[in-house]
Amino acid sequence: MSGPLTGVRVLEFTNLAPVPFAATMLADLGAEVVRVDRHDSVTGAPARPGDPLARGRRSIALDLKHPEAIAVALRLAESADVLIEGFRPGVCERLGIGPEECLAVNPRLVYARISGWGQDGPGAKEAGHDLDYLAVSGVLAPIGPAGAPPTPPLNYVADFAGGGMLAVVGILAALWERERSGHGQVVDAAMVEGAALLSAQLHGLLADGMWTGPRGGNLLDGGAPFYRCYPCADGRFVAVAALEPRFYAALLAGLGLVDEDLPGQYDEAGWPVLHETFAAVLATGTRDDWAERFAGTDACVTPVLDPAEAPRHPQAVARRSFVDVGGQVQPAPAPRLSRTPSGVPGPAPAPGAHTREVLAGAGFGEAEIGELVRSGAVAVAR
């Protein structure tokens, strides 16, 4: 392993998107991550070595309803620096692996909890998904075209950014603080709060009276003709983001509109005219025609690539922004550090592939391991 977190031990209790994403980020940065899989997953779906959300770690399979497995989990927590869980509030306490029990065996542990609504409050234990957290946080309402329902931005915002990535920030902050105090602590990462935090700029615009139109009618939500996507002759799209006057001037030059009598860039009354004009011109060429024409300019016009195309973009190729892991092309570790760079991630393990190895590393003897396997407390990949 390589990276700035080399030597940091992470115990990940496998769960949905935010937890494995947080663990992947830590593994990419060099942390030694052990994923705790369900004991019955060893006989489930086949291993996916190219799974981006499971790369670069080892796996142990435990039956967390088995008392001996709980003892194993606590023993693993003794030597861990970080524990990440994403169960509903109260589940880990009920199992006997909550913060109280884990910090009792390891006072230096950073115990990270990722949940939808947070660990307390009237709705803490309610079910929810990314879209629900976006809806309640105020993030969803401004997204989408005018006159239509809000558009779900996949599950990027709450699950991955507001949940997983925010948890990593909390974990790194707690690890840094531990260097001074010598003590661990609990990181409570709520996706609804993480999503709200991502909308900080929007709240500033609201306070300044700069976000007043309906959905799809403001500067950054597709309302501005110079900050939106347009269809091209081949049915594909270009993204236009010429916000500043000098970039807007380059846009007009590339579209051949410098000498046209057009409304001013920030004359909102004239935006419909600009939109129709830009749309008509861009519809005369293909996406790649426009990408070639605007290449090397400051017009901020780029092709809208689909996920399979993105790794072939010249900038991505030059910087090796995508890597092959387990036979699958996927995003490379980020960000990049000059002195302690991350290496290429290893493939995702099969559930339980390292059960014996992890137990031996935690001090379990061969006889103990054999008995844990026989009792069903742990499982080993076939």
Q: Across the strands, what pairs with 13?
A: 36
For the record, the structure tokens of 381 come out as: 């990949």
Could you give the count of Cα atoms lying within 13 Å of 358 in the half-sphere of its Cβ? 33
Phi, psi of 267 (to 5 degrees): -85, 95
Phi, psi of 276 (to 5 degrees): -65, -40
Contact criterion met (CB below 8 Å) for 163 and 232: no
How many C-beta neighbours within 10 Å does residue 112 have? 26
DSSP for residue 158: I
275: annotated active-site residue: no
Three-class SS state of 68: helix
Rounded to an integer, what distance in angstroms lies between the CA atom of residue 244 and that of residue 268?
15
DSSP for residue 329: E
Contact criterion met (CB below 8 Å) for 21 and 162: no
Q: What angle do CA 96, 99, 102 make, to 5 degrees?
A: 70
159: annotated active-site residue: yes
Rounded to an integer, what distance in angstroms lies between the CA atom of residue 266 and that of residue 211?
14
Catalytic residue among 51, 66, 129, 289: 129
What is the chain's length? 382
**Amino acid type, 174:** A
Contact residues for 306 (Cβ-Cβ < 8 A; gap 6+): none
Catalytic residue among 81, 130, 132, 159: 159
Contact criterion met (CB below 8 Å) for 240 and 278: yes
Contact residues for 119 (Cβ-Cβ < 8 A; gap 6+): 89, 113, 188, 190
DSSP for residue 378: E
Rounded to an integer, what distance in angstroms lies between the CA atom of residue 276 and that of residue 225?
9
Distance of CA 215 to the CA centre of its chain: 25
Three-class SS state of 67: helix
Q: Give the catalytic positions in this structure.
A: 129, 159
